[in-house]
Amino acid sequence: MLATISFSRSVFSVSLLVEVSLLLVVSGCTSSLSRQPARPLGSTPLPSHSQPKQMGVASWYGPGFHGQPTASGEIYNQHALTAAHRTLPLGTRVEVTNLANGKTVQVRINDRGPFVRGRSIDLSRGAAHRLGMVKSGVNKVRIKRLSAHGSKNSKAAVSQPQKRTTKRTRQVRRPQPQGTSLRSMLATIWPF
């Protein structure tokens, strides 16, 4: 009788351990920090509280992504005047002003990002050069959404999307957001 109780307790303990492990693994597989948008490309809506002007920190990206596909599907050109933003619809034109020196550039949103906490926009290297922030890497900026018909300036500094010349583009693994997921923490403690 005592052996039966001991055996049933160990079976219960093992099954409980397996169930808890499965729940932790499944919860670790669901990550809200994904590089890919959850909706079809270009359909990410603006938040209802969005303002025409936004203050924030801009950074730039270039060499590691040059020639790779962006979230909009076009090929990234680090010399073009484009940017990555988390919520603005793809194709939106914005005016970015470097608050340190007053320089301004108009860019088109063609990618998603930045995925570093505290940053508002990732500029292409070409746009960062126009703003005088290539050397510093990050600057405080003002972001102003432009109307769909463009600005009053006849020399709008916005690049046009490149046409794809290849039939198929290889997929690129983008760097994962910083931070540790539950799954990776569990993998270091208990490899599955």
Structural domains for the chain: 53-145 (2.40.40.10)
Does residue 175 have a cis bond before it (omega within 30 degrees)?
no
Mean pLDDT of 127-131: 96
Q: Could you tell me what percent of the chain has a pLDDT over 90?
A: 46
Task: Say yes or no to pLDDT of 29 above 60.
Answer: no
Q: What is the pLDDT of residue 106?
A: 97
Average pLDDT, the chain: 74
- Rounded distance, CA 116 to CA 105, Å? 22
Pairing, β 121-124 against β 138-145: unpaired
- Rounded distance, CA 69 to CA 77, Å? 9
Confidence of residue 55 (pLDDT cuts 50, 70, 90): very high
- Rounded distance, CA 137 to CA 124, Å? 11
Confidence of residue 148 (pLDDT cuts 50, 70, 90): confident
Tokens, residue 150: 């463009």
Give the range among 6-10, 59-63, 73-77, 152-156 with minimum mean pLDDT.
152-156
Kindly report, residue by residue over 95-116, the tens digit of the pLDDT: 999 999 999 999 999 999 998 9
Q: What angle do CA 77, 81, 84 make, to 5 degrees?
A: 80
Task: Say yes or no to pLDDT of 43 above 50.
Answer: no
pTM over 0.85: no
44 touches 87 (CB < 8 A): yes
Mean pLDDT of 140-158: 68
